[in-house]
């Protein structure tokens, strides 16, 4: 197999050269033809901890917003927190981001999204079910009390308080103790009672869009408890199913809007590996592709060299020396940023290079490891950055 790669390398490089679009000089207009008829754009990343992914994704978002009318950006963060926090024009932006977004976004690069005047009318939402901080609880309680009444707000106040007492324990226990599981089940029942009370009240009248978001957030609280009751292995799959359901809910909530989803490659790939299929694990991307195949564009982000951070915030050097790495071949074009269309329908034919199984680096818990795939089966395009660096996190500057 190695000899085959070596023998065909020049031919494959010529084929890729005919397809790729350099973006290091701002040639975004060349992507217009790939956006025709698209209502959903999924922007992935093989690691959350890469500075250049943030900067290039923000450029991508601005291009989609200004040139193609995408007005909603959904982040891999808690739905109720991200969707009810005011980021643009916020004089305490760092606090807003800490309380409204997951820690992966707490960096200098991400702040430029919210200080960009050209994006001020962009709507920010979240799709995750995992909570961020109890700062949002007060907003939730105030809205529920104002629109539904104290009888529901008081019940909700009690379960929210218990929820955030248990949350650190949930995250720190590798395997939940029996007592913890019992508490989670009781808390889930408490949320179910609040959900039923809210549904009964909301069916009887017309309520604000904000209350609808908060109702969905309370449903997510219960779902997060169910995720943790499933255990580490099954919880990942269940989280993806709940994120997909949240996206479906948001599509209806923002009916008629074009939507961008910013997440990890794992979540946005249009297909699953044989291992995931065998284990029956569902992902956001493959569930979306089944429903929105013709109106969806999935873009995986990868890098060829430099340093990122591990999930434990340790520096990790990116290495793609093996002949099978697609990144190694892309490095030879000597462009800082490339967009490589791989969707057969978009490029008109399946070229021989795309029929091969390629290695692409993906971040795991302990570092990076290659994922072996035919890219066209999993993405519509590859976004490649030649050299990368870690993001500048606020906690590292304190």
Mean pLDDT of 180-199: 96
C-alpha distances in Å from residue 283, one per residue of 222, 365, 383: 20, 18, 21
pLDDT at position 58 is 98
The mean predicted confidence, pLDDT, of the chain is 93
With a cut of 90, say whether residue 236 has pLDDT above it.
no
Q: Which residue in this structure is represented by tokens 């959904």?
A: 74
Q: What is the DSSP string of 98-134?
A: HHHS-GGG-BHHHHHHHT-GGGTTPEEEEEE-S---T
In angstroms, the CA 100 to CA 84 distance is 8
Give the angle 190-231-242 at the CA atoms, nearest 5°: 65
Q: Where are the alpha helices (DSSP H) in the chain?
A: 2-19, 51-68, 79-83, 93-100, 108-114, 135-147, 150-172, 178-203, 209-229, 232-253, 265-268, 274-279, 284-292, 326-331, 344-347, 375-378, 394-397
Percent of the chain topping pLDDT 70: 96
In angstroms, the CA 258 to CA 122 distance is 11
Strand partners, 340: 382
Q: What is the DSSP string of 318-354?
A: ----STTBHHHHHHTT--SEEEEE--HHHHSS--GGG
- For the stretch 28-64, pLDDT in tens is 999 999 999 999 999 999 999 999 999 999 999 999 9
In angstroms, the CA 237 to CA 232 distance is 10
With a cut of 60, say whether residue 1 has pLDDT above it.
no
pLDDT at position 362 is 94
Strand partners, 70: 258
374 CB-side CA count, 13 A: 12
Of 391, 298, 397, nearest to 343 (Cα)?
298
With a cut of 60, say whether residue 80 has pLDDT above it.
yes
Strand partners, 325: 359
- For the stretch 122-158, pLDDT in tens is 999 999 999 998 999 999 999 999 999 999 999 999 9
Of 129, 223, 233, 128, nearest to 174 (Cα)?
233
C-alpha distances in Å from residue 7, one per residue of 1, 10, 360: 10, 7, 20
Q: What is the DSSP string of 352-394?
A: GGGGS-EEEEEE-SSSEEEEEE-HHHH-SEEEEEEEE----BH
Percent of the chain topping pLDDT 90: 79
In sequence order, which residues have a C-beta less than 8 Å from that of residue 136 and are 6 or more positions away? 78, 80, 81, 84, 85, 99, 100, 217
Tokens of 182: 């019992």
319 CB-side CA count, 13 A: 8
Contact 301, 23 (CB under 8 A): no
pLDDT-derived band at 398, boundaries 50, 70, 90: very low
With a cut of 80, say whether residue 348 has pLDDT above it.
no
Strand partners, 282: none
In angstroms, the CA 42 to CA 228 distance is 26
Contact 58, 50 (CB under 8 A): no
With a cut of 80, say whether residue 179 has pLDDT above it.
yes
The more confidently predicted of residues 173 and 247 is: 247
- For the stretch 201-226, pLDDT in tens is 998 888 899 999 999 999 999 999 99
Q: Which residue in this structure is represented by tokens 């199913």?
A: 241
């Amino acid at each position: 197999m190695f000899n085959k790669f070596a023998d065909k390398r020049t031919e494959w490089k010529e084929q890729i050269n005919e397809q790729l679009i350099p973006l290091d000089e701002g040639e975004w207009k060349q992507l217009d033809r790939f956006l025709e008829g698209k209502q959903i754009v999924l922007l992935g990343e093989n690691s959350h901890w890469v500075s250049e992914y943030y900067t290039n994704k923000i450029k991508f978002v601005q291009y989609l917003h200004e040139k193609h009318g995408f007005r909603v950006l959904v982040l891999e963060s808690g739905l109720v927190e991200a969707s009810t926090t005011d980021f643009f024009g916020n004089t305490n932006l760092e606090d807003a981001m800490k309380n409204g977004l997951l820690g992966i976004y707490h960096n200098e690069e991400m702040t430029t999204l919210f200080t960009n005047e050209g994006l001020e009318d962009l709507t920010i939402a979240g799709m995750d079910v995992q909570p961020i901080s109890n700062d949002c609880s007060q907003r939730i309680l105030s809205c529920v009390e104002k629109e539904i009444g104290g009888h529901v707000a008081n019940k909700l106040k009690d379960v929210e308080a218990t929820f955030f007492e248990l949350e650190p324990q949930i995250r720190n226990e590798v395997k939940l103790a029996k007592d913890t599981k019992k508490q989670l089940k009781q808390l889930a029942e408490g949320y179910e009672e609040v959900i039923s009370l809210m549904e009964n009240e909301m069916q009887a009248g017309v309520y604000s869009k904000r209350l609808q978001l908060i109702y969905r957030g309370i449903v997510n609280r219960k779902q997060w408890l169910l995720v943790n009751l499933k255990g580490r292995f099954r919880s990942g799959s269940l989280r993806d199913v709940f994120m997909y359901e949240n996206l479906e809910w948001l599509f209806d909530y923002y009916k008629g809007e074009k939507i961008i989803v910013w997440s990890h490659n794992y979540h946005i790939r249009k297909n699953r590996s044989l291992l995931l299929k065998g284990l029956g694990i569902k992902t956001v991307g493959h569930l979306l592709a089944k429903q929105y195949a013709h109106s969806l564009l999935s873009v995986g982000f990868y890098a060829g060299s430099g340093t990122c951070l591990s999930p434990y915030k340790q520096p990790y050097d990116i290495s793609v020396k093996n002949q099978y790495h697609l990144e190694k071949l892309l490095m030879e074009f000597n462009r800082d940023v490339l967009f490589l269309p791989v969707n057969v329908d978009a490029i008109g034919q399946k070229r021989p290079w795309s029929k091969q199984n390629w290695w692409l680096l993906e971040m795991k818990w302990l570092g990076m490891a290659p994922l072996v795939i035919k890219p066209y089966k999993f993405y519509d395009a590859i976004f490649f950055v030649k050299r990368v660096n870690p993001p500048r996190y606020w906690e590292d500057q304190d």
